[in-house]
Structure 1
Amino acid sequence: MAGHAFVGIALHRFAEIARRIDPKFPVRQGLPSSQILTSYVGLLVEGKSDFEAIEGKRGDRFFQEALGLSNVPSAATLRQRMDALGVPGSEAVDALLVPLLKRGKAKFSPVSTGHVPLDIDVFCLDNSGSHKEGVGRTYAGDDGYAPVAAYLGAEEGYCLALELREGTQHSAKESHYVLERVIPRALALTKARLLLRWDSGFDSEQLYAAALNEGAGRVDVLGKWNPRAFDREGCAVAKRGDADTVWMSLRDGKRITTWEVPGRAIEQKDGSAVHLRRILRLTERTTQADGQPLLFPDVEIDGWETTLAEPAETIIALYADHGTHEQFHSEFKTDLDLERLPSGKFDTNVLVLSLAAVAYNVLRLIGQQALLRKDAPVRHPAKRRRLKTVMQEMLRVAAKLTRHARRIALNFGRRCSAFVVWHDLYAAWVAPEDAIAAAPSSA
């Protein structure tokens, strides 16, 4: 696992984990708190979330050297120390995200309007059959958790927050606290205007107001409108009888019409009001996709509220792009093995998810800076590599660890397809005097 060298650099050089964590959580004996957290991040980047997996690393000299550990903790020590750190430890870990991405020179691609998107969403972790604290019935119909996540960048999706919630908690509940933390982080990472996007679960005047107030004039909002008690059938009848309605046929038996109405007025701290635009789209089906006629027309209403001044088609397309974040959720659940959380204690799992955000961003940095090059290991063209691909091509590269002349060296195979990008990224991440020699082996 030669790629642990990158993890150690990211945590110690970019995030400065020891300087930021140890003064807050001093210990009289045993491993410093920063090394406990670093050990767990080292497991997560391998796709292992169980505390017991650390036992397999206790004899791994490179794991210890690359991550800057004075020793590798036992599974019991790892679990007990993370239990003790809990929520305060999670808050300290969250503070690592901005320096990690800023010093790691993360780039955030914009959308067509020039905004850098900040996507916020809730997803579900299925922990059925367990008796862990906080497990409840989620909106997906499973027993588990419903964490909220925030991602920055149109293509990259760097994680700025991953906060655990009980399974029964509604998306909008206490989400204004999430905005208060996430928006300043995003503003610190990019000079571009932000486009905050969310689904109808966050459709609340309080959240719109919190977003615009925290944005300090640099944030636009695009959210899915929740129709609640809206009279769809009455609206459809009115549109059918209006000669000015413009319908667009998508296929035989299916047509749509789009129009705009004034949205809500959001009051600001200074007493002024921001007026939202509301884009509405009515979809009418008289036949199913296979041509089967319907006894009564099927009517759907969709809506979006925004501060943007773009045409309605652009607004709808920008919101459709918001769906990309579902891929990021999947990477947490499958690639980092966090579908079922490792602890029965809610506060410990809060810390686990904060560390998962750090591990996710480290892997994303490696992938964006190394695996999109032309000389990277052969893969299909892409704007972003999945975390699993980064693990396969960069972390799990085989290399022999040797010591010579008071230096540590990694010797790669002569035909190692990832050597060039591995070496170049390592050279870019370290100062020359501290670099570990990485040279092709003659074997």
Structure 2
Amino acid sequence: MGFGFRVKQLDYDLTPVAGLALVGHHLKRLDPLFKRLDAQWPCRGGLPPSTLMRSYVGLLAQSKSDFDAIEGFRGDRFFQEALGLVGVPSSPTLRQRLDAQAALWFDFTSQAIEALLRKSQPDYGLLPCGHVPLDIDTFAMDNSGTAKDGVSRTYAGVDGYCPLAAYLGTHGFCLEFALRPGAQHSASETTYNLETAVPMAQRLSTAGPKAPILVRMDAGFCSAALMADMQRCNRPGLPRVDVLIKWNPRKTDPLEVLRRQELEGGLLWQHPRAGKRVAVWEVAVQVEGIAHRLRRIVRITERTVDARGQQFLVPEIILEGWTTSLPKAISAEAIIDLYAGHATHEQFHAEFKTDMDLERLPSGKFDTNDLVCQLAALTMNVLRLMGQQGLLGPHAPVRHAARRRRLKTVIQELVIRAARVINHGGRLWLGLGANDKAARAFCDLHAQFAASG
């Protein structure tokens, strides 16, 4: 039996990315900021900065980070109308303008992220203790085999970058995505990032859930100076900021700690299985720069037999701890569980690197790549909002039950949608296919955005 299809080119326009119309609705909310940006950095005879940024956000929303990808949309009226562009830049123009002016536009992105989230007021997701988590961490981006500015050896053993990201809420809204050289230590220059991320989280919480903030960080940020910086954010009229940081024992001898605690008595051992026992206790610690004492939850684990039944010649002793300003009403076990939830942010890192194709950054200039990361944070929040508003309702495409959708799912179900572009009545219409199972959710979401302005 022969292949039954025939192929021809139609005489009307189609678009494979109808979801850019939804992205454009979110960008339209930022029009006042874009206008101020264009007024501050005018470009005579060329495209304004807002058009360059909107264009690149349109690429990132499709998982395209390469500047050359813009060439596929030159002369595409839908791309231009959907994103509110005065024109579509060429690939050389986009690259050269970002290389020349990236450092001048850094302040815009943090303002845009805050304005977007303040106007949208999403469900950030609260912790069982009633706090909104602010998870801060660094991660490695492999850019080996390149000579890009700032590429150096990361803690993961690859050459690349080690950016710092800050996510607000359990659903992963990104407030900060700051590019760093690969060899930079986690705690180095983090004070500057906290000065942006923590007050922004407080302001967004004031406008939204009105809940205290819990900053969660791993042992790389175990620093008295950083803890004091966050405690200074507690000011009248703003949500309280608490900290939960993994303790770095550094040169502390676990065996010596175990012997000392056994001599003092009071250790309550739990035996999860044969050959393994665990004890948890709490101590008060004085941190330089903080007037009141903080709590440190300490856990020591002793194994004489591994999970497969193999006996150790020498017992394995593991010492862990968590320093926090949370009140005593929250038990030690609950605090350990709260920190365990911090691991969810690893999924958000992966969404940047894989779902948005940002593992290898597009430019050789550090400042340009830094701006790319910041625009990626803005794009992540746009996609996160689209997923929360469009893929969790009764008309959403069939998916497993979830409290949030990862970016890849949002891109597949809402952005990469085929539609006919119809020019009628002096405006563009999008015609979705009769067999499009996501059309109902798409139309509902579009109508919701159009009604909200």
TM-score range for the pair, normalised by the shorter chain length: over 0.9
**CA shift for structure 1 position 14:** 4.1
Instruction: Tell me the amino acid that sits aligned with residue 393 of structure 1.
Output: E
Whether the 8 Å CA contact 2:179–2:369 is kept in 1: the answer is yes
The answer to whether residue 199 in structure 2 is matched with residue 187 in structure 1 is no
Counterpart-to-counterpart distance in 2, 1:34 and 1:244 = 63
Whether the 8 Å CA contact 1:11–1:17 is kept in 2: the answer is no
Structure 2 residue corresponding to 1:331, chosen from 351, 359, 365: 351
Instruction: Tell me the amino acid that sits aligned with residue 391 of structure 1.
Output: I
Could you report, residue by residue, the CA deviation over 1:323-366 in whole angstroms, capped at 9, with x for unpaired residues? 00000000000011000010011011011001000111100000
Taking structure 1 as reference, are residues 48 and 236 closer, same or farther at Cα in structure 2, changes over 3 Å only?
Answer: same
Whether the 8 Å CA contact 2:225–2:289 is kept in 1: the answer is no
Instruction: Tell me the amino acid that sits aligned with residue 395 of structure 1.
Output: V
Structure 1: which 5+ residue stretches go unaligned?
Answer: 435-443
User: What residue number does 1:375 align with?
Assistant: 395
User: Which secondary structure state, in structure 2, belongs to the residue aligned with residue 47 of structure 1?
Assistant: coil
The answer to whether residue 267 in structure 2 is matched with residue 236 in structure 1 is no
User: What residue number does 1:408 align with?
Assistant: 428
Whether the 8 Å CA contact 1:179–1:214 is kept in 2: the answer is no
**CA shift for structure 1 position 60:** 2.4
TM-score scaled to structure 2, two decimals? 0.92
Counterpart-to-counterpart distance in 1, 2:320 and 2:32 = 46
**CA shift for structure 1 position 24:** 2.3
User: Which secondary structure state, in structure 1, belongs to the residue aligned with residue 243 of structure 2?
Assistant: strand
User: What residue number does 1:207 align with?
Assistant: 226
Counterpart-to-counterpart distance in 1, 2:30 and 2:405 = 21
Structure 1 residue corresponding to 2:53, chosen from 28, 31, 37: 37
Counterpart-to-counterpart distance in 2, 1:6 and 1:40 = 15
Counterpart-to-counterpart distance in 1, 2:118 and 2:30 = 8
CA RMSD of aligned residues (A): 1.4
Larger RCO (CA under 8 A, 6+ residues apart): 2
Counterpart-to-counterpart distance in 2, 1:424 and 1:418 = 10
Counterpart-to-counterpart distance in 2, 1:222 and 1:86 = 34
Whether the 8 Å CA contact 1:20–1:92 is kept in 2: the answer is no
User: Which secondary structure state, in structure 1, belongs to the residue aligned with residue 39 of structure 2?
Assistant: coil
Taking structure 1 as reference, are residues 115 and 331 closer, same or farther at Cα in structure 2, changes over 3 Å only?
Answer: same
**CA shift for structure 1 position 88:** 2.2
Q: How many residue pairs end up in the alignment?
A: 428
**CA shift for structure 1 position 399:** 1.1
**CA shift for structure 1 position 104:** 2.1
User: Which secondary structure state, in structure 1, belongs to the residue aligned with residue 29 of structure 2?
Assistant: helix
User: What residue number does 2:14 align with?
Assistant: none
Counterpart-to-counterpart distance in 1, 2:286 and 2:181 = 30
**CA shift for structure 1 position 12:** 2.0
Structure 2 residue corresponding to 1:3, chosen from 19, 26, 43: 19
User: Which secondary structure state, in structure 2, belongs to the residue aligned with residue 171 of structure 1?
Assistant: coil
Structure 2 residue corresponding to 1:227, chosen from 229, 249, 255: 249
**CA shift for structure 1 position 93:** 1.6
The answer to whether residue 307 in structure 2 is matched with residue 285 in structure 1 is no
Structure 2 residue corresponding to 1:295, chosen from 313, 319, 327: 313
User: What residue number does 1:274 align with?
Assistant: 292
The answer to whether residue 78 in structure 2 is matched with residue 59 in structure 1 is no
Instruction: Tell me the amino acid that sits aligned with residue 198 of structure 1.
Output: M
Stretch of structure 1 that moved more, 115-124 or 53-62: 53-62
Counterpart-to-counterpart distance in 2, 1:381 and 1:15 = 35
Could you report, residue by residue, the CA deviation over 1:297-319 in whole angstroms, capped at 9, with x for unpaired residues? 01100000001121000100000
Taking structure 1 as reference, are residues 15 and 275 closer, same or farther at Cα in structure 2, changes over 3 Å only?
Answer: farther
Stretch of structure 1 that moved more, 102-111 or 393-402: 102-111
User: What residue number does 1:257 align with?
Assistant: 279
**CA shift for structure 1 position 265:** 3.0
Structure 2: which 5+ residue stretches go unaligned?
Answer: 1-16
Taking structure 1 as reference, are residues 15 and 151 closer, same or farther at Cα in structure 2, changes over 3 Å only?
Answer: farther
TM-score scaled to structure 1, two decimals? 0.94
Counterpart-to-counterpart distance in 1, 2:301 and 2:104 = 48
Counterpart-to-counterpart distance in 2, 1:352 and 1:6 = 21
1:120-135 → structure 2 map (5 Å cutoff): 120-135=136-151
Instruction: Tell me the amino acid that sits aligned with residue 282 of structure 1.
Output: I
Counterpart-to-counterpart distance in 1, 2:322 and 2:93 = 50
User: Which secondary structure state, in structure 2, belongs to the residue aligned with residue 160 of structure 1?
Assistant: strand
User: What residue number does 1:441 align with?
Assistant: none
**CA shift for structure 1 position 25:** 1.6
**CA shift for structure 1 position 94:** 1.9
Counterpart-to-counterpart distance in 2, 1:149 and 1:16 = 26
